[in-house]
């Protein structure tokens, strides 16, 4: 698949391999067409903007040469007389033809405009900010069109940071957001929303004095820099804090978790339906009788968690899980099994499912599994954990995660505790670390090992031999 990245070093990629785009000015032609968002850019505009005020006599033929070489780089299999499909001629100039998901800047802008619940906004902003790898279009910063677009994208990035934080506060995540909001307000002291979010986060953590101090800092900066007092909105916020009129939001984590159940046995589906109907805070999003129906149901209902039978007709649960987890912003997947083969359970964990639960489990175990998966925890039913891990611990496999060489002692210690099934809160207590720092270390482990789920970290720890069944963990000091 051909993709383009502008949120950081500018580059085009073919199935993850960088393409040779030529020299700086030739690359600038492609970057300028990307900035146009699929619209045609006249050749005269390209000339004026690539050579501001001083175009060479052969500028037109030079542009044509750049386009020809870029076309060969982007579509190497295209026949000599075949019409280009990516960098196309569009009177009176050229245009870049690509889908939004092929261009990081286009996808980013679409994500920033996402509406919905706080959880949906949080997920969209988190994904959007994850696309950034550095300043946008920095290598073309001396060209006015690039500087203008970079500034526009940077403003959207700041909006995404603030929308994510606003959603996080609605979800009850003030503690994990406070440090980042402090840094954000300090870096952008003239942004009203930065100070509002910081003050609200501190207040909701019970740090009322620090919340009011943050607003005093904002007032001082604004008077010094702008000669202005706080905005009306921040003054009202300050007054509400002083009068203790601030209301705590109802965290959306307490809103009902939506679960889709997929099993070819109607009796199993009916049992899960009855169980969910009797449990506050959990609701049935849909049902499916096979893997294909499960995939369609996920796309239609966007559940939080999928309970997926590992063996079903038409498309089995393992294949369905792989396809569901390959979707954009997938739900958590918990496999259901009566016993199952070790190979299938092992493969499911490798695919990124959050774990598995026995169909014979008591309702409270099912519900605990749903809540644990939704919270991002890995769960492996204790009835089969020892057998499964013992069978595959230390097993070499070409598809295994990379070796753990190069990981710091801190990350290795966290990985050991993740493998033991501890939550971030429990790991923090064990290692005397703030919970948000543990979350950062877990995220760094996933990125380093190119994994997507906490359950895969468990498997990586056992596969590598870092942890073995029955072993007591030993940890370095920090």
pLDDT < 70 positions in the chain: 248-255, 339-346, 350, 376-406, 421, 452-453, 455, 462-463, 465, 467-478
Residues 114, 219 within the same domain: yes
Residues 147, 223 within the same domain: yes
pLDDT given for residue 26 in this prediction: 96
Residues 156, 219 within the same domain: yes
Tell me, yes or no, whether 268 lies in a domain: yes
- The per-residue pLDDT for range 182-222, each reduced to its tens digit, is 999 999 999 999 999 999 999 998 899 999 999 999 999 99
Q: In sequence order, which residues have a C-beta less than 8 Å from that of residue 261 and are 6 or more positions away?
A: 268, 269, 272, 273, 284, 286, 287, 288, 306, 307
Among 351, 369, 392, the domain boundary falls at 392
Tell me, yes or no, whether 342 lies in a domain: yes
Among 102, 136, 171, the domain boundary falls at 102
Q: Please tell me the distance from the alpha carbon of residue 260 to that of residue 409, in angstroms, as a whole number.
A: 40
Q: What is the CATH number of the domain that holds 56?
A: 1.10.10.10
Tell me, yes or no, whether 248 lies in a domain: no
Residues 263, 385 within the same domain: yes
Q: What is the CATH number of the domain that holds 200?
A: 1.25.40.10
pLDDT given for residue 161 in this prediction: 96
Tell me, yes or no, whether 452 lies in a domain: no
Residues 217, 332 within the same domain: no
pLDDT given for residue 364 in this prediction: 82
Tell me, yes or no, whether 437 lies in a domain: no
Q: Is the peptide bond before 125 cis (omega within 30 degrees of 0)?
A: no
Tell me, yes or no, whether 440 lies in a domain: no
Residues 97, 113 within the same domain: no
The domain of 319 spans 256-392
Which sign, positive or negative, has the C-alpha torsion 401, 403, 407, 411?
positive
pLDDT given for residue 255 in this prediction: 59
pLDDT given for residue 360 in this prediction: 82
Q: Across the chain, what does the average pLDDT equal?
A: 84
Number of domains in the chain: 3
Tell me, yes or no, whether 431 lies in a domain: no
Give bridge partners of residue 358 from the DSSP assignment.
Answer: 337
Residues 115, 64 within the same domain: no
- The per-residue pLDDT for range 111-167, each reduced to its tens digit, is 999 888 888 888 889 889 989 988 999 899 899 999 999 999 999 999 999 999 999
Tell me, yes or no, whether 147 lies in a domain: yes
Q: What is the CATH number of the domain that holds 325?
A: 3.40.50.2300
Residues 263, 375 within the same domain: yes
Residues 314, 211 within the same domain: no
Full-model pTM: 0.57
Among 363, 392, 421, the domain boundary falls at 392
pLDDT given for residue 16 in this prediction: 84
- The per-residue pLDDT for range 37-76, each reduced to its tens digit, is 999 999 999 999 999 888 999 999 999 999 999 999 999 9
């Amino acid at each position: 698949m051909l993709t383009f990245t502008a949120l950081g070093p500018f580059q085009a990629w073919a199935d993850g391999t960088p393409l040779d785009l030529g020299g700086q000015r030739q690359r600038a032609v492609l970057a300028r067409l990307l900035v146009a968002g699929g619209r045609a850019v006249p050749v005269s505009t390209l000339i004026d903007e690539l050579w501001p005020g001083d175009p060479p006599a052969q500028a037109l033929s030079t542009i044509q040469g750049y386009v020809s070489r870029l076309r060969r780089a982007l579509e190497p299999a295209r026949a000599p007389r075949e019409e280009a499909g990516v960098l196309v001629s569009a009177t009176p100039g050229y245009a870049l033809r690509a889908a939004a998901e092929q261009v990081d800047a286009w996808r980013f802008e679409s994500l920033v405009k996402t509406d919905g619940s706080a959880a949906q906004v949080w997920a969209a902003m988190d994904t959007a900010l994850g696309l950034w790898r550095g300043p946008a279009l920095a290598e073309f910063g001396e060209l006015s069109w690039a500087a203008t677009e970079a500034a526009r994208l940077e403003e959207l990035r700041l909006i995404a940071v603030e929308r994510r934080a606003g959603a996080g506060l609605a979800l009850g995540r003030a503690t994990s957001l406070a440090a980042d909001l402090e840094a954000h307000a300090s870096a952008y002291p003239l942004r009203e929303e930065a100070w509002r979010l910081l003050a609200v986060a501190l207040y909701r953590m019970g740090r009322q004095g620090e919340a009011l101090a943050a607003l005093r800092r904002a007032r001082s900066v604004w008077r010094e820099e702008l000669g202005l007092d706080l905005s009306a909105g921040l003054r009202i916020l300050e007054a509400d804090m002083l009068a203790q009129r601030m209301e705590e939001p109802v965290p959306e984590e307490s809103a009902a978790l939506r679960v889709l159940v997929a099993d070819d046995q109607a009796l199993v589906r009916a049992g899960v339906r009855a169980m969910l109907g009797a449990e506050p805070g959990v609701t049935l999003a849909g049902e499916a009788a096979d893997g294909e129906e499960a995939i369609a149901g996920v796309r239609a209902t966007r559940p939080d968690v999928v309970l997926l039978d590992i063996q079903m007709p038409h498309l089995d649960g393992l294949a369905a899980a792989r396809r569901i987890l390959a979707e954009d912003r997938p739900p958590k997947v918990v496999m259901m099994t009566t016993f199952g083969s070790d190979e299938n359970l092992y493969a499911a964990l490798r695919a990124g499912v959050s774990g598995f639960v026995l169909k014979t489990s008591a309702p409270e175990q099912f519900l605990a599994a749903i809540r644990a998966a939704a919270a991002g925890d890995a769960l492996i039913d204790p009835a089969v954990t020892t057998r499964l891990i013992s069978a595959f611990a230390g097993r070499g496999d070409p598809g295994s995660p990379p070796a753990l060489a190069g990981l710091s002692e801190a990350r290795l210690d966290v990985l050991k505790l993740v493998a033991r099934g501890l939550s971030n809160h429990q790991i923090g207590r064990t290692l005397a670390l703030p919970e948000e720092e543990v979350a950062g270390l877990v995220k760094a482990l996933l990125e380093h090992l190119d994994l997507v789920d906490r359950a895969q970290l468990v498997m990586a720890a056992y596969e590598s031999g870092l942890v073995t069944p029955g072993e007591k963990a030993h940890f370095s000091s920090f």
